Chains A and B, each alone.
Chain A
Amino acid sequence: MPGSDVGDYLPLPQAQFHVLASLSERELHGYAIMQLVEETSGGVVRIGPATLYGTLKRLVDEGLAEESERRPGEDDQRRRYYRLTALGRRVCMAEVDRLDALVRRTQRNLRPGTA
């Protein structure tokens, strides 16, 4: 049963956060998510097919992502597209804020003259 308190979902596991971040750009199918995660992480995070769908399953079960009905006309009709839900968007934003605060604090600690 998906909860409604955003704080209950934080901190997000790395794979979940990367998938949510990819879906924040647009609706994507499985392989496109894998590509985008690798691209946006500079090749550091590489998700395999089973890890991806295990992560998507969890996100869908928790109500953070959902399958989209829309299919681009020329694309393979077998592909399933996924998008963020309103809750998923709020959770992703909260995780971004949390990480942002952590990064700012760490920057102040390591480089006292900046920020």
Chain B
Amino acid sequence: MAASRVYRAVLRCYPAPFRRRYGDDIIIAFDDLRADRGIRVAYWRALVDLVVTIPKYRLESAMSEHRARFTLVVLTITLAFAGFTTLAVGSWPVSVCLLACAALLSVSQRSAVAPGVPTRVAGRRRRLFVAAVVSFVVFACSVVAFLVDIGDDHVAGGALLFYNAIGMLSLVGGIVMTIALVNDYRQFR
């Protein structure tokens, strides 16, 4: 049915979780309405319904606690990473600002994640978050040490290799922890 296809296409404007859970039911109700009252009434009521509910459900989805917490975690990790990267480059005032922001967010993050979610999951997320941050900090330190020492002719090649190994391991570890954290949010939100 063309009318159902058009309506189904418009339903893509709703948040994905709502669409996945109720999309087929909404289409069935729309088809029933169309069969019962005619296409004009069905379209008119669906149009009014869409105009009212799409912004509302989008806003509710954007303002949901889980989404806000997830955004906070990503923002904190990004700021910390950017802070250490700028420190490695040598732009320390910018770096200090970024790291201070990351530190402030980290504090709020710890208090924001725990309430409202099951203890076991909150504990797992907190551990993953801390492990990811620590890994990125170790990576940043190894990068800084590497960049500082590489210009010094008296530093042994073994030290540079050591910094490289630590840096690569911590980078991989940080990425893995971040992916695990993201998956955890997706699974339990």
> Which A residues lie at the B interface, using CB under 8 A?
1, 30-31, 34-35, 46, 48-54, 56-57, 76, 78-80
Contacts and interface: CB of A to CB of B under 8 A. Distances in A.
B57 interface: yes
A53 B26 CA distance: 7
Contacts of B32: 31
Interface of B: 11, 14, 18, 21-22, 24-30, 32-33, 36, 45-46, 48-50, 52-54, 56-57, 116
Contacts of A52: 29
Given A34-B33, A54-B18, A57-B22, A48 B28 contact: no
A49 B11 CA distance: 11
10 contacts: A1-B116, A30-B29, A31-B33, A31-B36, A48-B46, A48-B52, A49-B27, A50-B14, A52-B29, A57-B21
B28 A78 contact: yes
A46 B44 CA distance: 12
Nearest to B56: A54
A57 B49 CA distance: 16
Contacts of A80: 25
Nearest to A58: B60
Contacts of B22: 53, 56-57
A114 B53 CA distance: 42
Contacts of B46: 48-50
B128 to A, nearest CB: 23
Contacts of A57: 18, 21-22
B33 to A, nearest CB: 7
B49 A31 contact: no
Nearest to B52: A51
Given A30-B29, A54-B18, A78 B24 contact: yes
